[in-house]
Structure 1
Amino acid sequence: MTVSDGSSADGKKSLSDLAPLEAVLFDVDGTLCDSDPLHYYAFQVVLQEYGFNNGVPITEEFFIQNLAGKHNDEIVKNLFPKDIARGWKLTDDKEALVRRMVAEKLEAINGLYKVTKWVEDHGLKRAAVTNSPRINAELFINKLGLTDFFETLIVGCECEHAKPHPDPYLKALEVLKVSKDHTFIFEDSVSGIKAGVAAGMRVVGITTRNPEGLLMGANPTILIKDYNDPKLWAALEELEKKGIHAGNAA
């Protein structure tokens, strides 16, 4: 349970405690853009073509529980444990299908540009941190017009471990040269929230497609519907009152 200033019901966690704020980190799929429907459709098509589940299309529940937010390496091992090579061919085909659909189907999460402007206006450092292949993430970020917004892109498969391990977020801190105690994360998946929490950071969970109860189990600091959610702006207002920049605290 969260309250308006972004703290938990027990008062132990709050975004305002991060002042002075140094950086904001963003996941990509489901956090910058509502891309899960593209991934769900692509998995349905390709898994049928590969005869998975005897050709019966996967359900959205199966997608959420077993595929959404997970790294392809984990997906391949779970779905095709006896034929890893075939599993990787499937994920390559699936990612290619997603890229073909991006131009017409990709939509930014509501309020995204409002929050990116807030980040820019406050002179904060920023990075995109994703489990998606680099080619996909770069395409999505470019289509959203955010190529110049991000200072760096951290990709899970280029780290020692992908999310839900903390490695990608720890690498982002290292690259940006910022502290975990003055940085927070936007994430939409259980694996992503777990990665951020494991890295010792506050995580703002976004209920883009994943059930609220599922996300709360990963222990986000605050849970919001989208970037227009009043809970988010109340939390950011409290952070501003404490002084976002060093030396500006009251």
Structure 2
Amino acid sequence: MSASIRAILFDFDGTLVDSEPLHYEAWMHAVRPHGASTGWDDYRARFVGQTDRWAGRELLSSVGHPADDATVKTVCLAKHAYYREKTPERLAISEATRLLIHEVPSNLRLGVVSSSPTVDVEPTLLRAGLRERFEFMVCGEHVRNHKPDPEPYHLALERLNASGDALSATEVLVLEDSKSGIAAATAAGMRVRPVEDPALLVALVRAELGL
């Protein structure tokens, strides 16, 4: 294990769990009544890692639909409702990832840093029996500025050091899949490993830790 790593921070969507296809499906369900849609490739290129408010406004604007605050709120609520209805049957952290998290040495501190709200993150961790393994979660409602701004990772470092430990950003390993997440962690001065596919997460972490 690299002696310089004292904590690991995991992004959630697209890193710990392959949730982006369901997010895409939920968005299409929400904006289709307004005449909007986009393809999977465009969604992956432009929308992964963005906030729901930004995504809703962008999808509506792309077809010339009014993207006022009230309409954006309506489509976001519809997206959230669909996503949360489908989550229990559609989303699960893989067994390989679950075993990996339990295998990480106990002296390494673990956290989750996600742009999604806690209500969309915590239930999946609980179902996998992993919630207690993560010391804390920094979620969308906890910050004013979202990724690619480094604020979520600055807050995560504050929480790591709240107990009196003196961790530096360079001692924190971050696993991120999106360009905005990678930019945020890099700007915070942390060690970042891109996760191109959730299926690759286990191999990446094992290589970093020498497991």
Q: TM-score range by the shorter chain?
A: 0.7 to 0.9
Contact 2:16 2:93 in 1 (8 A): yes
Q: Retained in 1: the 8 A contact 2:53–2:76?
A: no
Unmatched runs of 5 consecutive residues or more in structure 1: 1-14, 210-224, 241-250
TM-score (norm 1): 0.73
Percent of counterpart pairs with the same letter?
31
- Who is 1:75 aligned against? 55
Say which structure is richer in helix: 2
Answer yes or no: is 1:192 the counterpart of 2:176: no
Q: C-alpha deviations, 1:125-178, integer Å up to 9, x for none?
A: 111110002211122222222111111110133212111111001101101113
Does residue 1:60 correspond to 2:40, yes or no? yes
Give the Å deviation of 1:65. 2.2
Question: What SS does the corresponding residue of 2:110 show, helix, strand or coil?
Answer: strand
Return the index of the structure with the highest Cα Rg: 1
Name the TM-score, length of structure 2 as normaliser: 0.85
Tell me which residue corresponds to 2:100: 115
Aligned residues: 201
The correspondence of residues 20-169 of structure 1 with structure 2, limited to 5 A, is 20-52=4-36, 57-80=37-60, 82-109=67-94, 111-119=96-104, 121-169=105-153
Query: Does the Cα contact within 8 Å between 1:133 and 1:155 map onto a contact in 2?
Result: yes
Moved more, 130-139 or 166-175: 130-139
Task: Give the conservation status (yes or no) of the 8 Å contact 2:53–2:72.
Answer: no
Root-mean-square deviation (CA, aligned residues, Å) is 2.1
- AA aligned to 1:90 is V
User: Residue in 2 aligned with 1:213?
Assistant: none
Q: Is the 8 A contact 2:50 2:180 kept in 1?
A: yes
